[in-house]
C-alpha cells in the first residue's frame, strides 16, 4: 500500500482527488492538508511514501515546503500538481529535487501511475513543461531572492518573512532590493509582476 499526503486548498478538488485515489487498490490518502504551512508537520506525523502538493497554497507555497522535506523527510517522495504551468516553477521544483511535476488536468489513471512511479523511485515530468523550461530564459534571481520575493507576493511583510526564514529584517529588505534591481522593476510590486510573468516565482 502506497501512503499519500495530499496538499490542496480547494476543497472540491481535494475531495475529488481523494475519491479518485481511493478507487486504486494500492493507494491510500493518509493525510489531507489545506495550507502550505501544514505540509511538513503532517509529513513528520504520518510519514507518507508520497506527498502530492499543489504549489499555490495559503501561508507557504508547495515548492518551498518540498525543499524542506528533502532535508527533514528525505524518504518522502514529492509529486507537484500545478494549475499554473510555468516553466520557471519546474526549474525551481527540480532544484528542490521533487520526483514529479504534472499539471492538474492529468487524467486519474495518469496520476495514479505517476504516484506509483514516484513511490518506486522514478521521476515523472510533464513533457510540454519540460520542453518549455529548457527553452525559457533562466531566472537572474538567487534561490533566496526567489524565496523572499515569492513570500512577499503572498502579502507577507519583511518582518514576517524574516521571522519565517530566520533572517534579520534588514537582510530580507536587501534580498527584496537586489531582486528588484536584477529584474529592472520600478518597485517591489513591479518586480513580482515581472518574475511571475516570466515563470520565475
pLDDT one-digit tens code per residue, 176-188: 999 999 999 999 9
Mean pLDDT, residues 71-94 taken together: 81
Residue 199: partners with Cβ closer than 8 Å, 6 or more residues away:
86, 87, 88, 89, 136
Burial tier of 201 (Cβ tally within 10 Å: 0-12, 13-18, 19+): buried
**Is the CB of residue 82 less than 8 Å from the CB of residue 117?**
no
32-41, 42-51, 84-93: lowest mean pLDDT where? Answer: 84-93
Residue whose cell numbers read 521521476: 123
pLDDT at 8: 92
Cα separation, 67 vs 69, whole angstroms: 5
pLDDT at 133: 64
Q: What is the mean pLDDT of the chain?
A: 88
14-23, 37-46, 86-95, 96-105: lowest mean pLDDT where? Answer: 86-95
Its pTM stands at: 0.68
Opening angle at CA 42, ends 36 and 43, nearest 5: 100
> 134: which 3 cell numbers?
529548457
Q: Distances from the Cα of 26 to the Cαs of 115, 120, 124, 190, in angstroms?
A: 10, 13, 19, 47
Please report which confidence band the pLDDT of residue 48 belongs to, taking 50, 70 and 90 as the band edges: very high
**Is the CB of residue 172 less than 8 Å from the CB of residue 160?**
no
Residues in a beta bridge with 77: 50
DSSP string across the chain: -EEEEEE-S-HHHHHHHHHHHHTSTTEEEEEEESSGGGHHHHHHHH--SEEEEESS-SSS-HHHHHHHHHHH-TTSEEEEEESS--HHHHHHHHHTT-SEEEETT--HHHHHHHHHHHHTT--EE-HHHHHHHHHSPPPSS-HHHHHHHHHHHTT--HHHHHHHHT--HHHHHHHHHHHHHHHT-SSHHHHHHHHHHTT--
Mean pLDDT, residues 21-44 taken together: 93
pLDDT at 187: 93
pLDDT at 192: 92
Other C-beta atoms lying within 10 Å of the C-beta of residue 156: 18
Please report which confidence band the pLDDT of residue 38 belongs to, taking 50, 70 and 90 as the band edges: very high
Q: Over the stretch 114-161, which tens digit does the pLDDT of each residue have?
A: 999 999 999 998 877 776 666 666 789 999 999 999 999 988 999 999
Residue whose cell numbers read 537582510: 171
pLDDT at 95: 75
Amino acid at each position: 500500500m502506497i501512503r499519500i499526503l495530499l496538499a490542496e486548498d480547494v476543497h472540491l478538488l481535494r475531495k475529488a482527488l481523494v475519491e479518485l485515489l481511493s478507487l486504486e487498490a494500492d493507494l491510500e490518502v493518509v493525510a489531507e492538508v489545506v495550507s502550505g504551512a501544514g505540509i511538513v508537520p503532517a509529513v513528520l506525523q504520518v510519514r507518507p511514501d508520497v506527498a502530492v502538493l499543489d504549489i499555490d497554497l495559503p501561508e507557504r507555497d508547495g515548492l518551498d515546503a518540498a525543499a524542506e522535506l528533502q532535508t527533514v523527510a528525505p524518504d518522502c517522495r514529492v509529486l507537484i500538481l500545478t494549475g499554473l504551468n510555468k516553466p520557471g516553477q519546474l526549474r525551481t521544483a527540480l532544484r528542490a529535487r521533487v520526483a514529479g511535476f504534472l499539471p492538474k488536468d492529468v487524467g486519474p489513471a495518469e496520476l495514479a501511475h505517476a504516484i506509483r512511479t514516484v513511490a518506486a523511485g522514478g521521476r515523472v515530468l510533464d513533457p510540454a513543461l519540460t520542453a518549455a523550461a529548457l527553452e525559457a530564459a533562466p531566472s537572474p534571481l538567487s534561490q533566496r531572492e526567489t524565496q523572499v520575493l515569492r513570500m512577499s507576493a503572498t502579502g507577507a511583510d519583511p518582518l514576517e518573512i524574516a521571522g519565517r526564514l530566520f533572517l534579520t529584517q534588514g537582510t530580507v529588505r536587501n534580498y527584496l532590493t537586489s531582486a528588484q534591481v536584477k529584474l529592472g522593476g520600478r518597485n517591489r510590486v513591479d518586480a513580482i509582476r515581472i518574475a511571475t510573468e516570466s515563470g520565475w516565482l
